[in-house]
Structure 1
Amino acid sequence: MAPPTTIDLPAIKARNWTLKTTYTVSQIISYNLALGGSGSSLALVYESDPRFHALPTYGAVPCISIMSLVHAAMFDFLPNFQGHNHVHGEHYLSLKNAYPIPKGIETVNLETTARVVDVVARRTGVLVCVEIVTRDERTGIVICENEWAGFVMRTPSSGANATQTPRGERTAVYPTPTRTPDRTITHQTTPEQAALYRAASGDLNALHIDPETAKAAGFKAPILTGTCTLGIAVRHVLEAFASGDASRFKSVRVRLSGPVFAALGETVRTEMWQEDGERVLFKMIVDWERDERTVLSQGCVMLRGKNQGASL
């Protein structure tokens, strides 16, 4: 098949992908630790604890596997597509219940479907918005919904939408407040964290572990997986405004603005502003060798009311 010369948006929207995956207790424990969860918190690391649960951004993990299928298909439907020009730019995650994984089940079978819902012209490429829905295969119940927006550089935008189609929280923009943050939490990343997250999430992209691959991609060192950076920020929001109660998480929307170099032990700082009882705005900054830069921006976590979350 000859590569396309323009973007056929209706044809792209007609495509879909389905993938079945299985996750175990061991992977959930590894995931919680990879986000900086405490090894002494039995709710995060001991499967027999009645409060045992996956941190809520575990709901983004099924995206990683199915996005590999979408990424491979981009060679067929995007002009001049090159794999290394595709980066994770924005993300939305919504949990339909209090937790991303059914409680009390040691092995979880999931079915995840994906479809492109928008392709938007940008100055140097296009933004490809992919809707991802994950169900419990056993019951058919929707567990979570994600929208993964990937920025594809150097792709001609002929045929793409000129502006992004508004879709509520999925496309909302949350400007960072100018006032002093209400809360700030820091976290020091490590090479071990980056390696653990690869194993826990199944994202085995060499960019996140191999210095030579990172160098070839234009980075000074391997970069932390974007969904890991997001997970750390959400954990900070829950600690700051929900007393660590993961069941109060409802949704998150954020822009991934830059890489974190866990291989260099960079420290990240999550700055947070509580707009009301259920909405927390945030951004994440790296302060490394006096080179302060924003890595997550326009972030917003929506919390469930105190009486709406499930007890652990």
Structure 2
Amino acid sequence: MYESHFGLREAPFGITPDTSFFFNSPHSQEALNTLLVAARSGEGFIKITGEVGTGKTLLCRKFMKTLGDGFVTAYLPNPLLEPRTLMLALAEELELQLAPDVDQHNLLKSLTARLLALAAQGKRVVLCVDEAQTIPEASLEALRLLTNLETEKRKLLQIVLFGQPELNQHLQAQSIRQLTQRITFQHDLGALSRDDMEYYLAYRLRVAGFTGARLFSKAAVRRLFAASGGIPRLINIMAHKAMLLAYGEGRQQVDDRHVKLAVKDTALLKRRGWPWLAAGLALAALAAAGAVLSYRLSL
């Protein structure tokens, strides 16, 4: 809506995990380096945790995209699955054609054969599990058993768990202590600092095609950081709304007042809690778009 007004090719503050907008903050770059080192060393389990909105899914996609041709990646975005269904999902990711009624023995046998075939081709297989805090304990144990598969040289399957801090509590269960002991690399994603957030705003705007001078005033940046706490998803939500408001007024710069209104509009989402952010954003975006249209028509 406002792209041409600000000289942009695309909207800079979407909440979809677009890897072209991946920002190398100290936290995200350290996490990416940890993932790449762990994957190339062939270790079994890797764990990445972070609060809602800190960029775990974006990091996951950047990691998979960065891995070279020597890797085959599988991705499970919703692992709230019982063990058999989870293994069927992995088989599908590895392009295995199986009968719908395949029994557990033949399912495991087929997975093993596929992993061995990929290893013979010199390929490493990495399974990335998003929202890992939702995995049932029985399914976590099934994943652990899969990592027992190995050649004389290395594991046939590496698993990266991306989850909210609740994942750490989940992994403390006595029944899956063997899995916890196999986590050899881990990293916790944190929020952006004030300075990092300034670079973050500038970076996303530049990727979106912005070539002008400062778009967010210093006062706007201060308020945005205070309201978001440096959480990238919240920054994106409020920055997007503030730009809509500036566009509605025909302004070329986002000032403190625009961010203040954006923060007020987002405060309800924050009070209701993080799990409702995505749904709330969709409604808020519609409301903001309607407000801008009404403003334009009244000019």
| Structure with the higher helix share, 1 or 2 | 2
| Structure with the higher strand share, 1 or 2 | 1
Larger Rg: 2
Range into which the TM-score falls when normalised by the shorter chain: under 0.3
Higher relative contact order (CA 8 A, sep 6+): 2
**Structure 2 length-normalised TM:** 0.21
